[in-house]
Amino acid sequence: MRGSIPFSCYPENCTLASAAVLRRNLFLIKCLDGFCCRSHSQRMQGTQSAAVPAAEADAEKTIQMITPALDPIRYKGQAGKIAVIGGCREYTGAPYFAAISALKIVSITGADLSHIFCTKDAATVIKSYSPELIVHPVLEESYSVRDDEKASVSAKVLSEVGKWMERFDCIVVGPGLGRDPFLMDCVKDIVKHARQASIPIVIDGDGLFLITNNLDLVSGNSLAVLTPNINEYKRLVEKALGCEVNEKDGNYQLQLLSTKIGGVTILRKGKSDFISDGEAVHCVSTFGSPRRCGGQGDILSGRFVLIQLLHQQIFYYKSYLNYFDNNSVAVFSSWARHHLLITNGTIGKSLSNPMVLGCIAGSALLRRAAAFAFQDKKRATLTTDIIEFLGKSLEEICPAD
């Protein structure tokens, strides 16, 4: 193992119930350069109503920092297991794009797993797209459930998803979900369950429609990431702040919106992507593609699995450090701060939140892949073409050799 591991940082109240919880807690290291949920929420109370600059993120350095090296002793699932909650009769492409893009990325660092929880009508279609995805046809829509069955069916859906939940390092909620009322109620319970289990959650697509009308589902959850496009962001601002989008003071408004929803990380998609967790605003303006095709947002949601690469890179060192017993979490905390955070000012304290790091990496890699795809296909570029260039995008930044 390279380098020494400092022992100066010991987080309080580290109660770990299982290996799955241990992995996630190592990822959510409370003392990553001073970042913790309690102090985070306290610091946000002091947000000043002044002009907020958006610092251009050093995306390549971030990607290099959190991407683990290939190693023959790794085993399946060690570099990330994610789940996509979405897919109904009308929409089967979005959950596929999210799941397959995540699988493409983690497969570069080892064989890993991507699950989709969808309705029965969508399952067969999604399975036909790719044999690599694990598809669970457990969600239900109103048309297939009688009123007197709703309570029992809802409980069954939550039970079916819940028995898998502890295995996942991150879940993506919303791609191809649709807006069926009964399905939305079921997903509410899934989101609550994920929060109780301290599982990072990415909200996109129709999931944002659900969250906008139920902000309490994510309010105060520092493990939640919202990825709105221009219209979804407009609805969020109107709901949470009670005003219109202000482009003149857009950075301040984005920071204020994150603060208002209790410190969730928000990735505002657009010509440039802007990211804030209420602490600061970071920008990714890497040129992508002038061709806009449906599904790119779903790829971005799936690419958030890069957060899990950071998480699992920390967890990987457990094999070397388990003899430190109860102090192992503190060791991982110190290792993460020492090895993953650059303290020379390029990446500093404001980037100690792994959720922000994942957003920066995912945004930059999607844009890079889109640029490669457009160079190859020009006006005929489709989302499937972009997916094919995900590997090349990461390989140029982090070569496997």
229 annotated to bind ligand: yes
80 annotated to bind ligand: no
81 annotated to bind ligand: no
234 annotated to bind ligand: yes
DSSP-based three-state secondary structure for 246: coil
- What is the C-alpha separation between 62 and 361, in angstroms, rounded? 6
192 annotated to bind ligand: no
Calculate Rg over the CA atoms of the chain. Answer: 20
Supply the DSSP symbol for 278. Answer: S
93 annotated to bind ligand: no
289 annotated to bind ligand: yes
271 annotated to bind ligand: yes
269 annotated to bind ligand: yes
- Residue 270: half-sphere exposure toward Cβ, Cα within 13 Å: 15
275 annotated to bind ligand: no
112 annotated to bind ligand: no
296 annotated to bind ligand: yes
Please give the structure tokens belonging to residue 296: 């790119």
251 annotated to bind ligand: no
272 annotated to bind ligand: yes
233 annotated to bind ligand: yes
Please give the structure tokens belonging to residue 304: 């958030």
292 annotated to bind ligand: yes
Residue identified by tokens 């779903």 is: 298
Supply the DSSP symbol for 132. Answer: T
Please give the structure tokens belonging to residue 179: 């807006």
- What is the C-alpha separation between 67 and 162, in angstroms, rounded? 29
2 annotated to bind ligand: no
162 annotated to bind ligand: no
303 annotated to bind ligand: no
248 annotated to bind ligand: no
DSSP for 53-96 reads -EEEP-HHHHHHHHPPPP-TT--TTTT-EEEEE---SS--HHHH
Write out the binding residues for ATP. Answer: 269-273, 288-297
Write out the binding residues for (6S)-NADPHX. Answer: 176, 229-235, 298
Write out the binding residues. Answer: 176, 229-235, 269-273, 288-298
